[in-house]
Amino acid sequence: MLRGRLPVTHMSSAIAPVKPSGTAGPKEVELILVKEQNGVQFTSSALVSPSGQTHPSGEERETWGKKIDFLLSVIGFAVDLANVWRFPYLCYKNGGGAFLVPYLFFMVIAGMPLFYMELALGQYNREGAAGVWKICPIFKGVGFTVILISLYVGFYYNVIIAWALFYLFSSFSGELPWINCNNTWNSPNCSDLNATLLNDTYKTTPALEYFERGVLHLHESSGIDDLGLPRWQLTSCLAVVIVVLYFSLWKGVKTSGKVVWITATMPYVVLTVLLLRGVTLPGAIDGIKAYLSVDFLRLCDAQVWIEAATQICFSLGVGFGVLIAFSSYNKFSNNCYRDAIITSSINSLTSFFSGFVIFSFLGYMSQKHNVALDKVATDGPGLVFIIYPEAIATLPGSSVWAVIFFIMLLTLGIDSAMGGMESVITGLIDEFKFLHKHRELFTLFIVVFTFLISLICVTSGGIYVFTLLDHFAAGTSILFGVLIEAIGIAWFYGVDRFSDDIQEMIGQRPGLYWRLCWKFVSPCFLLFMVVVSFATFNPPKYGSYYFPTWATMVGWCLSISSMIMVPLYAFYKFCSLPGSFCDKLAYAITPETEHHLVERGEVRQFTIHGFQGSRSSAQIRCDRPGLTNVGVFSDF
Q: What does residue 45 show for φ and ψ, rounded to 5 degrees?
A: -140, 155
Strands 615-617 and 607-609: antiparallel
Nearest to 589 by CA among 497, 483, 488: 488
Helix, strand, or coil here: 216? coil
What is the full DSSP assignment across 266-286? HHHHHHHHHHHHHTTSTTHHH
DSSP state of 476: H
Q: Is 83 annotated as a binding residue?
A: yes
Q: Is 239 annotated as a binding residue?
A: no
DSSP state of 318: T
Q: Is 372 annotated as a binding residue?
A: no
CB neighbour list of residue 413: distance below 8 Å, 6 or more residues apart? 80, 81, 157, 160, 161, 164
Q: Is 315 annotated as a binding residue?
A: yes
**CA-to-CA separations, 41 to 32, 44, 47, 362, 442, in angstroms, rounded:** 12, 10, 20, 73, 59
Torsion angle of alpha carbons 522, 523, 526, 532, nearest 10°?
A: -120
Q: Is 354 annotated as a binding residue?
A: no
Distance CA 414, CA 158 (A): 8
- Answer whether 632's CB lies under 8 Å from 588's CB: no
- Answer whether 242's CB lies under 8 Å from 451's CB: yes
| Residue 616 burial (10 A CB sphere; 0-12, 13-18, 19+) | exposed
Distance CA 346, CA 49 (A): 32
Distance CA 279, CA 287 (A): 10
User: What is the CA 74 to chain-centroid distance, rounded?
Assistant: 9
User: What is the CA 350 to chain-centroid distance, rounded?
Assistant: 15
CB neighbour list of residue 440: distance below 8 Å, 6 or more residues apart? 250, 251
What is the 3-state secondary structure of 116-137?
HHHHHHHHHHCCCCCHHHHHCH
Q: Is 412 annotated as a binding residue?
A: yes
| Residue 612 burial (10 A CB sphere; 0-12, 13-18, 19+) | exposed
Q: Is 76 annotated as a binding residue?
A: yes
Distance CA 112, CA 313 (A): 10
Distance CA 192, CA 190 (A): 7
Helix, strand, or coil here: 475? coil
Nearest to 121 by CA among 482, 570, 603, 578: 482
What is the full DSSP assignment across 30-91? EEEEEEEETTEEEEEEEEE-SSS---TT-------SSHHHHHHHHHHHHS-HHHHHTHHHHH
Q: Which residues are annotated as a binding site for Na(+)?
A: 76, 78-79, 83, 315, 347, 412, 415-416
Q: Which residues are annotated as a binding site?
A: 76, 78-79, 83, 315, 347, 412, 415-416
